[in-house]
């Protein structure tokens, strides 16, 4: 049985969450830390954007500032995600880990199988998408408006939005599992003023995505979702979690990255 470090975090601001993800990924890349699964939440609404996504035309920074919605840059790619009431997972691992194929699609699939198993403990019948969204539909900057291969859906709607970045020796994958959806607020963050275009965008999101608390006519708590995901990873990947805090190296790097992020324009 393989050992995997587990960091079961609480609720933090977006700058801290991204700084820690980057610090852990850096340590795993250097061989200074083992494979690590981190599960965490968000203290306040935060808009994250992919590291190659431009903010000048796609994001209404004025609206975000006025409504105290932080904007953070993810270390992975992909489109914008509004994080609020959700569970977020982050998995950093060496590429030579026998638990995962050494390619992006194989890794995506392995992680999705584990998370699908975890969701089954919540009586959620989730599926793994085998098809990509047609290119004609890729005209939005929202992650949850499109579904990529091996992402998780329920009733044909995207439930978990994930992104992965591969480095020389390792990879980082993290993703958003919304407990609730905030489509109207996301539309405003992305510059859709109230009106026809905003309503059309919100309608698209409702057609393409779903949140946990829209399922089974019940409310799922943060902790029970975390517990279920842990069981899914343990059962499918045959791993044993070892709860361990950030190392001194990770703490120092996370602090440096946090200070850089929080002062960046």
**Which residues are marked as active site?**
143
Q: Cβ distance 173 to 162 under 8 Å?
A: yes
Q: Cβ distance 81 to 161 under 8 Å?
A: yes
The single residue listed with the structure tokens 């992909």 is 78
Q: Cβ distance 13 to 239 under 8 Å?
A: no
* Contacts (Cβ under 8 Å, ≥6 apart) of 101: 107, 109, 110
Measured from the Cβ of residue 219, the count of other Cβ atoms closer than 10 Å reads 10
The single residue listed with the structure tokens 């969450």 is 17
d(CA 5, CA 244): 6
Sign of CA dihedral 208, 135, 46, 24: positive
The single residue listed with the structure tokens 């949140």 is 211
Q: Cβ distance 172 to 91 under 8 Å?
A: yes
d(CA 172, CA 91): 6
d(CA 37, CA 173): 10
20: tokens are: 């820690």
Q: Which of 161, 207, 195 is nearest to 50 (CA)?
A: 161
């Amino acid at each position: 049985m393989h050992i995997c470090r587990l960091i079961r975090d609480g609720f933090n601001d977006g700058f801290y969450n991204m700084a820690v993800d980057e610090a852990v990924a850096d340590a795993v890349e250097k061989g200074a830390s083992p494979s690590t699964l981190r599960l965490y939440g968000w203290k306040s609404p935060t808009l994250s954007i992919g590291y190659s996504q431009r903010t000048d035309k796609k994001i209404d920074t004025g609206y975000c500032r006025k409504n105290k919605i932080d904007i953070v840059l993810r270390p992975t790619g992909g489109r914008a995600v509004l994080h609020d009431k959700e569970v977020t997972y982050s998995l950093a691992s060496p590429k030579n880990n026998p638990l995962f194929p050494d390619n992006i699609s194989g890794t995506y699939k392995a992680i999705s199988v584990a998370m699908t198993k975890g969701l089954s403990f919540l009586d959620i019948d989730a599926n793994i998408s085998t098809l990509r969204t047609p290119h004609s539909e890729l005209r939005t900057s929202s992650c949850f408006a499109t579904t990529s291969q091996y992402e998780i859906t329920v009733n044909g709607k995207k439930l978990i939005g994930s992104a992965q970045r591969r480095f020389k020796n390792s990879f980082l994958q993290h993703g958003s599992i919304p407990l609730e959806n905030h489509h109207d607020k996301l539309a405003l963050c992305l510059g859709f003023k109230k009106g026809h275009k905003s309503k059309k965008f919100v309608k698209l999101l409702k057609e393409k995505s779903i949140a946990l608390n829209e399922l089974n006519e019940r409310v799922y708590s943060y902790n029970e979702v975390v517990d279920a995901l842990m069981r899914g990873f343990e059962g499918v990947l045959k791993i044993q979690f070892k709860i361990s805090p950030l190392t001194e190296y990770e703490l120092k790097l996370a602090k440096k990255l946090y200070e850089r992020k929080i002062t960046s324009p």
